Chains A and B, each alone.
Chain A
């Protein structure tokens, strides 16, 4: 199969015009890698169900329109009105538009103890992740890399919000966002990552979040993706976990035309606990792809993943979780499950929970189901005088609710419940 590629001449010209702000060497290396390998295509196992062709097309349109000139994107956007999620969820919001800080980032460091900085030193930049096609592209086009750091022993009280908005009104169709979250030993923090589109125009956002958890650290992480219908979003969270650290992660996909979410966790020392849950609600022609990978390098450690999806219209969703238990990682307990509800004839789910195990003292299990609402549960409700429509709505909501029960960031519960309800309304409405 012929796969299209990003125009490398224009990309190189664009990268060359980026300012020398400490990221230059990092960008150059990443670009070199990108020139060699390009973006992944559907002949690669991890991408067999998701085609990045629209992102490539959009990138080329953007590169041609810019003609190697990158200046207009250099100015950070100054004025951004408060968005509903900011007023609804009490958090210290860091606002980004097209990957750039929307205003001078300020968090009262003295009060919260959290330090937020722009990475400007080459040595710090050299440690940033660039290892696959999308991350290389992200790194090549990166203008700002932001680091969020929590000192040892601090339990941050107010969650940090990462507002990641796309706005293509000025022709900025392609953006790269990079945030590094570092928790020193025994620190803990809640993070809310929110994806939004400020315009209805098509745009391709490429986001990489790096998480480093030191000994005993706890990170509660909630991702809410509410992009517009024309938005393409490629997101990656890459986490390394030291001894006894904990990552509680929940992902909610409610919007976007094409969204790919990769969560990659590397367990480096014993005592780690990872819980990942997710909910994807897709209708229309949406394509939502969630990929999880946990490397159990040492044991004992525990990882658990549960994702659920409700699909309507012509939506296509992909779920892939992979637990790799490396040699000697005894005492590993890895569990994965994925449950799906298809509401329409044209929707499609491609699910693949994988296990790769090279150690013997392990407990691993995975399960996946695809089906309809439980007929006997429907009958039970109907026999109690509830009409079929109401009963099936109740059961559909209950199916989604099991993810919402376990939100890692409690202050977001009301907002999330309302948004999920609204999305479900629109999906169930189509069903009738």
Chain B
């Protein structure tokens, strides 16, 4: 994204404008979207012919589509011609030189989250090499992964080095025609992660975008593809708990997971993009398509998400349970405060016999936020003995927020066993009184109760994430009580 001012940018940059220069970078495409832009983008990345053809197919289909309106969110129309679809990573000269140039409010938040000093600089977008030598850490990891035969690289690298894998799996879970935002992503995605775990390999460490080289500028149209070959096992962490500086307002990412026979994928997300200010100004639109395909027998895909950021979240990590005995899981905590809007949930499509799924969703609304759970459980006629349990709870903090539940169940097999439960409540006076009586401040008491409410989900997070997620929740709900 160029630093040329535009409406979208200026909104988002409002709080993070420190230290930016206004020169127009040469290595960016002008705002606008047409076939030439896509050709230019593909050429800049020197992509093989099949990628360009795929992008163009997606673009042509996108032109026939209408932006969806069914979600329980409201936002002004997006000008897709006002977005620049390619920008080279910012040069170091363009970045803040040191932490002194960063918005003090942001630093305060880092302090509260307990983020190490050297990481704060990186997160705030300070030129990395100057303060933090990530290369050494990353190189160690790379060697270890290589030894195991795991491929973990930026998408653009995978397109060159492993075109056969990309060609075989790209779009096989989220086809280019899937939905408005996924189709747009297919046409213009600029970067992302590619992971391939070979047969029988248990990935020696938890993979994280955090350690990926060149991960600093992930871009607004990110595409992730993870393939777990037969009998393999991988745990992938996306995002981080610290608020990320980002100059793009619209994020339309796509994540595709493929689990072959006996494979397991665990995908954890902590999302804390800029939510806009108290009055709903600015903030990221997070319109994401995430889907996993349990393609082989006994495969398992597990989604865990903690969503606290973004002005608008529109996200339904899903599982297609194609394989016999395959398992899908979805654990989610979604927090919406101030003017945030979240419409999030999951889809579990049961196709294979004896497929099982579990959904645990915890929604917390505060301020004037709107938080909706939207989920689908579909059991196809051939999915004998399919089993689903859904638990979906909402917690309301304050009089002006909203909590909504839209669960869809479409069942076409008589042997399926499907259960759905949902409750909505507020923090009770009794609970608060009990804590206050024991000398716990109101704010701490609320944090404690909220953390208890989310425990089932936090339990599913990798350990280092779980601790941070609790702190994050406390920070996100700051000012919601009292």
Residues in A lying within 8 Å of B, measured CB to CB: 45, 327-328, 340, 342-372
Contact = CB atoms under 8 A, between A and B. Distances in A.
A357 B424 contact: yes
Contact of B414 (A347, A353, A360): A347
A360 B397 contact: yes
Given A45-B70, A354-B405, A360-B401, A367 B421 contact: yes
Interface of B: 70, 379, 381, 394, 396-426
Given A342-B411, A357-B396, A360-B426, A371 B420 contact: no
Contacts of A349: 409-411
Contacts of A361: 426
Given A358-B402, A369-B420, A345 B413 contact: yes
A16 B426 CA distance: 55
A365 B424 contact: yes
B418 A356 contact: no
B405 A355 contact: yes
A46 B408 CA distance: 12
Contact of A360 (B398, B404, B408, B410): B398
A58 to B, nearest CB: 27
A327 B406 contact: no
A342 B413 contact: yes
Given A349-B411, A363-B425, A371 B405 contact: no
A371 B406 contact: no
Nearest to A318: B410
Contact of A357 (B394, B407, B410, B417): B394
Contacts of A45: 70
Contacts of B426: 360-362
Given A353-B422, A366-B422, A367-B422, A348 B412 contact: yes
A356 B422 contact: no
A364 B395 CA distance: 11
A370 B394 contact: no
B404 A354 contact: yes
Given A45-B70, A370-B416, A364 B409 contact: no
Nearest to B424: A364
B409 A357 contact: no
Contacts of A327: 399-400
Contacts of B396: 357, 359-360, 362
Contacts of A346: 381, 412
Contacts of B414: 342-345, 347, 372
Nearest to B426: A360
A356 B402 contact: yes
Contacts of B405: 353-355, 366
B300 to A, nearest CB: 23
Contact of B416 (A365, A368, A371): A371
Contact of B411 (A344, A348, A354): A348
Contacts of A357: 394, 396, 402-404, 424
A370 B417 contact: yes
Contact of B418 (A354, A355, A364, A371): A371
Contacts of B403: 355, 357
B422 A365 contact: yes
26 contacts: A45-B70, A342-B414, A345-B413, A345-B414, A347-B412, A349-B410, A350-B409, A353-B405, A355-B403, A355-B404, A356-B404, A360-B396, A360-B397, A363-B424, A364-B424, A365-B423, A366-B420, A367-B419, A367-B420, A367-B421, A369-B417, A370-B416, A370-B417, A370-B418, A371-B416, A371-B417
